[in-house]
Copies of this chain bind each other. A is one copy, B any other.
Amino acid sequence: MINGIEFAGIASGVKPSGLDLGLVFFREDVNVLSLYTRNKVKAAHILYNKKMGAGPMRALLVNSGCANACTGKEGTDDLGAIAEKLAPLLKIKTGEILFASTGVIGKRLPSGAIIRSLPLLAKNLKDTHLDSFSQAIMTTDTYPKVVKDTFRGKKEYTVIGVAKGSGMINPLFATMLAFVFTDYPVAPAVLKRSFVHSVKESFERITVDGECSTNDTVMLFTKRGPEDPQGTAPFKEALLSVMQNLSMMVVKDGEGATRVAHIVVKGAKKKEIAEKIARRIAISPLTKTAFFGCDPNWGRIIAAAGDADVPVVASKVGIVLQGELIVKNGLEVPFDEQALKKMMNKKEISVIVDLNDGKASFDIYTTDLTYDYIKINASYRT
């Protein structure tokens, strides 16, 4: 709970059943920092929010079940119409409302149903209703994702992060919505770099299926003045920690995932090389199915590394799987396959690829690729 921030989540009918509409109301003006998808096709809420600017803001309306992407001018007009109805209910200005959507692409928002639900939604607003908000933004997520942290400046402050996954997840960044709230008063200019840095080190370090969505959104809402510079450093730490914890919740709840694999590539000449190789391994269907099958099939890992379009000297490569050195100088170190299979039958798999070619490194988290991913996605719309 953060003093001054109220949440609500209700069922408005965007989805056939379940909570699908969430609202955050800020009793006082807040500043907003946002990062949006790098997909060339962007959802209506991104186009809309960008016109609204950085604040001060008073409300955030989020729906699940409909991405409101590829909906053209009508898609952004729908948001304008909703804002006009929501503003008087909250006694704020139309321009003080931001939006986010997630769900199926290409369908217009059922704005009639949403507008009809707004009075109930506004009535539900409460400091303590974070739970229903966090549920209302879920799609194929199997659990809500909320992280809380506190830190001290002149006094104690709180940071709360809420996110949803769980498919179309790829770094640069994850296909998801994430919102971070705090009662710490700070100017956006002070935070910009560390906000971007925190996103890079959290949501851009996970992948589920290599898919970058039209809707990816990370927003940070901070209190306006009087500032408390004493808290800046601890706040930045808390921000990074909250985002990292949230991103781990997202990847662990990746569609159909039974395990999370931590891919570390080290010994690279440059960080960019380590990053390309780590990302290539992390999206490899053959590597991910091997994780699912507890198969210590390191050939797939090295083949993915070799396909990353950066130099790899096979004869230098070492691979450590679950702490066991299984490849040295590009060659297999004899290992007990049955024992290693057993060791892989865990929630977490650790893969370290050492290029032995320099000092740079990069790491990323990915999921296994399972029957359930197919099940979820072969019939998502219907």
Q: Determine, out of A112-120, A152-160, A243-251, A282-290, the stretch whose residues face the partner at the interface.
A: A282-290
State which of B106, B312, B332 has its C-beta within 8 Å of the C-beta of A298.
B106
With A and B bound together, what is the CA distance between A366 and B327 in angstroms? 33
Q: Determine, out of A68-76, A77-85, A89-97, A122-130, the stretch whose residues face the partner at the interface.
A: A68-76
Q: A381: CB under 8 A from chain B?
A: yes
Number of chain copies forming the complex: 2
Q: A211-B307, A302-B106, A327-B106 are in contact. Are A41 and B312 (CB under 8 A)?
A: yes
- Scoring A69, A307, A327 by chain B CB atoms within 10 A of each residue's CB, the highest score goes to A307
With A and B bound together, what is the CA distance between A377 and B287 in angstroms? 9
Instruction: Contact check, B41 vs A290: say whether CB atoms are below 8 A apart.
Output: no
Instruction: Contact check, A285 vs B382: say whether CB atoms are below 8 A apart.
Output: no
Interface of A is mostly: loop
With A and B bound together, what is the CA distance between A83 and B199 in angstroms? 56
Instruction: Contact check, A292 vs B378: say whether CB atoms are below 8 A apart.
Output: yes
A255 → chain B, closest Cβ, in Å? 10
Instruction: Contact check, A285 vs B70: say whether CB atoms are below 8 A apart.
Output: no
Q: A315: CB under 8 A from chain B?
A: yes
With A and B bound together, what is the CA distance between A381 and B293 in angstroms? 10
Residue ID in chain B nearest A215 by CB atoms: B303
Instruction: Contact check, B106 vs A41: say whether CB atoms are below 8 A apart.
Output: no
Residue ID in chain B nearest A175 by CB atoms: B303
With A and B bound together, what is the CA distance between A302 and B210 in angstroms? 15
Instruction: Contact check, B374 vs A302: say whether CB atoms are below 8 A apart.
Output: no
Q: Which of A202-222 contact B (CB under 8 A)?
A: 209-214
State which of B307, B329, B373 has its C-beta within 8 Å of the C-beta of A289.
B373
State which of B286, B310, B311 has its C-beta within 8 Å of the C-beta of A211.
B286
Instruction: Contact check, B105 vs A40: say whether CB atoms are below 8 A apart.
Output: no
Instruction: Contact check, B292 vs A70: say whether CB atoms are below 8 A apart.
Output: no
Which residues in B have their C-beta under 8 angstroms from that of A185? none
State which of B38, B303, B373 has its C-beta within 8 Å of the C-beta of A168.
B303
Given A38-B307, A72-B330, 18 further pairs, Cβ under 8 A: A40-B305, A40-B306, A40-B307, A40-B310, A41-B302, A41-B312, A70-B314, A72-B331, A106-B299, A209-B286, A210-B284, A211-B286, A211-B307, A289-B373, A290-B378, A292-B378, A295-B379, A295-B382
